[in-house]
Each structure stands twice: as structure tokens, then as C-alpha cells.
Amino acid sequence: MRTRVITRSHLAVMLALAGGLLLAGCSLELFPERDPEPVDRDLADILDRDTLRVITRNHPLTYYLYRGTRRGFDFELLNRFAEEQGLVLDVVLPPTWGDMIPYLLSGKGDVIAAMMTVTDDRRQRVAFTRPYQQVWQVAVGRKDTLPPMTIEELEDRTILVREGSSYDERLQELRSNGLDFEMVYHDERNELEDPVQLVAGDRYPLTVVDNTIARLEQHFYPDLVIGASISEHQQIAWAVRPNAPELLAALNEYLQRQDRSAFFNILKKRYFNSPRRFRIHRGAQVAQFREGRLSRFDDYFRAAADKVGIDWRLLAAQAYHESRFYPDKVSWAGAVGLMQLMPATASSVGVDDLYDPRENIIGGARYLNRLLRIVDENLAPERDDWRNRICFALAAYNAGMGHVFNARRLVREQGGDPDDWIQVADAFVLLEKPEYYRREGYAFVRGRQVRAYVENILHRYDIFSDIVPRTAPDEEKPAEDASLALLDVR
């Protein structure tokens, strides 16, 4: 049996997303040797105190703050119950998932509302309400490390998972049935990023989450790929102490009334069927924990942007895609640092120390600015759409300007518009095929990779733009318009 425990910790981008998979089936159960005896407190005692205490976690599907307002599917659904009972809803956030049931039993909270999966083990410890959601578990990987598409393809894979979670239980069951794969246990207490972040950041190849989470996470991490379903349908419910039958009955009566009600359907649509809302609110959670910052390098991005006239959030989005904000990252090709500069390129833009975050960022900004100048010199003057222009520059940053010229030439030969990025992106894909790249004057290029590079950075830029203003709060000058001024900073 191959199982090991990961206990690394480090400051990571998107710290706010820690807890991102603390939902549905992924409830960490670092079981104490023995649970505390449940306190004797039922609905009558809660009504006397005028406060219902909900145990939950920070996530757009459970509970979070957005512009000073408390939100989340579980929070809003339970808050309606509290209002009906004349209660104030007080939120309790345990440090780990493993603390949730002990918190409940010891009286630190009265109900767990955190998209918790009903399992046989948990039924022995708490009383569950009627279910209000169904999920199933899926394998999740990345486009460059695809997840298994059948359960049998789990064989010989490495899977990052939380110990004691329902995912852990299911994987252990599959191993007991003869499948051989390695399970890496995620240490919630020491690792600031959750498993889906680590997979999205290319630090681990595979994890398991619930289908609802996986589908929404794809809108925040477009490189994620959903693979095989590895479980049957599982129920999601709230949990109360086993000696609180009045509270359990009241919650069940409330949930039964809400089933298929207009209020319940609106909540489900808002939180489970609105990808843009999820992106914005998940991003707002990032901003909340980061105190309005995208990374610890924001000041460097802003300073570089001031020099070259490029929106600093675009530079941050590119750096996130290139390095996940790890300043010491070195690629297989030898690119270094936050902006993944090659040594020769770094030298050409005046960077002496590639590992210095400030130098690396300004070097990347200078290089991107240089590419934008070339783009402007070659695109028709009437094509002043900055987003179209930045697509060409980003493609050149990734693949080289020579390949951009080749793709534009191919579009021109086919009677298309070589100044339109959409058409040029399709030409990049064609240049993966021998019948195109073997023509005189052309060359092979990983066209799909180039197209995805551009799309992912602009996708990330849109997210960053939704959650952080272009101008810092303490800056008096108004934000510039969206055009990208091309300044010579050499």
C-alpha cells in the first residue's frame, strides 16, 4: 500500500482559496481518538439565547464576505431558517475540517452547514438532516497531465487527497478491490493551498473532488480537466448533535418546505449555475484574504506598469500563468523567475538578476512592451482594439515573433484577415500539421499551446480585473483608459 503524507508549507498565491475544496465530499476528518460528549442543548435552548451558531468554512458555495455582505449557498439557506425562528445567525469557522464535528459536539456551534457528504462513519457521530443536494466524485487533472477517464486508469497514478475525507474512503475502497495507485495525503494544518490549487498549479498531477466543485473550479482554473466518475451519487446535508431532536425536526421541516421553492431554486441557480458569479465571488474571496492584493509582488507590477503603460493586472495575470508567482521557478527550457524570462531575453531588456522579483517583472514588462511595439508596426492602423493587439504580443512572448509572422502569413494565403487574432490563432493550430509546417518558410509550432497561453492569461486578467481596481485606493490620479500606451523604457 503506497501512502505518504505531504507536510510542506509555503506562502502561495491565491491563499484565499485555501478551503476551496473544503466542500461536498471533501470534508477532512482528522478524527480525535474519541469525540467529546455532546452538550445538552436543543432548539428551546437556542431560542432562549436568540442565536443559532453555524459551523462552516470560507468558500463561495458555503460562506464568505463580498463587499461587506455575508453570502454563500449554505449561509443564505440557513439564514432564512434563522429569520423564521427569530434567531441571529452567528458564523463559527473552525481551523480545519477535522474540528467541525468536535466543535459541534462540544457546543461551539449548533449546526454544520458546509456542503458535508453523508457517510456511514459520520452517521455514527452526528445526526444529518434530509439531504438538499446530490454529488458524485470525479478525478481532476490538468490539460497537460490528463486525469483518468475510467476507474481502471487510476492504476499507477498518484492522487493528492485529504486524509479521512469521503474521497479517501472511496479511494481506499478501490484499492481494496485490487487497484494499485499512490495516495499522497494533504496536510491541511501545514499546507496553505488546497488540493485543487496544487493540481491547477502543476505541483501534483491528480486529485478527487465532487462534480459540482470540479465544474465550477474549471471557470477559475481553465487548465483543469474533469475525468472519470469514481463514485455513485452521494448526499449532502446539514449536521446537528445526535441529542438535538427538536432542532433536527425543525430543520427537516424547513428543508422540506424549501425543496423546489422559488427561493431554493434561485439560490441553486445563483451559486451552482452561474460561472461568472462564481469567478467574481471566488476572486472576491481571494481579495478578502489578501487584503485587496493579488500577490506580494503587486507593488512591483504596479511600478512596471507605470513605466510601460500596461495594465498591472495583465502583468500579474501573465506572471501567474508563467510561474504561479514563484520567483525561483526555472522551466525545462531554462526560463527563469516570475515572468519566465530566458537569459538572452533578460539581458536584452537590462535584467542583471533573473531571480530578483522586481528586476524580473520589469524585464518581462519591457519585453512585452517591445513586442507590442512590433505588433503596432505590423497591424493595420484601424485595428486599435487593445485586446486584439495584446493577443498577438502574448503569442509572441510565448512562441516568438517569427511564429506570429508565419501564422499571419498563412492566414493571408488562405484569404483571411491576418490582423484578426481569432483567425491567426486557428492558423497556429494548423502549423502543428506537417502539410503546413513543412512548407517553405514555415516551421512547426505547438499551436494549441500558444492559443491556450493567450486565452488563459486573458481569462485570468478578467478575473483579476473583476476583483482588484486598476488604481490603488491611495492613488489620487484616475485610472487610465484601457488602451496600452507603448513607451520606450530602454
Q: Active-site residues: which are they?
A: 322
Rounded Cα distance between 175 and 179, Å, is 5
Element (H, E) at 320: helix 312-323
Q: According to DSSP H, which parts of 324-446 are helical? A: 343-348, 357-378, 386-399, 401-413, 421-430, 434-437
Cell 458569479 locates to: 277
Rounded Cα distance between 210 and 208, Å, is 7
Rounded Cα distance between 378 and 300, Å, is 30
Rounded Cα distance between 350 and 361, Å, is 12
Residue pair 131/238 in contact (Cβ under 8 Å)? The answer is no
Residue pair 162/97 in contact (Cβ under 8 Å)? The answer is yes
Please return the burial class of 400, using the count of CB atoms within 10 Å of its CB with bins 0-12, 13-18 and 19+: middle
- Enumerate the β-bridge partners of residue 226: 140
Cα Rg, the chain, nearest whole Å: 25
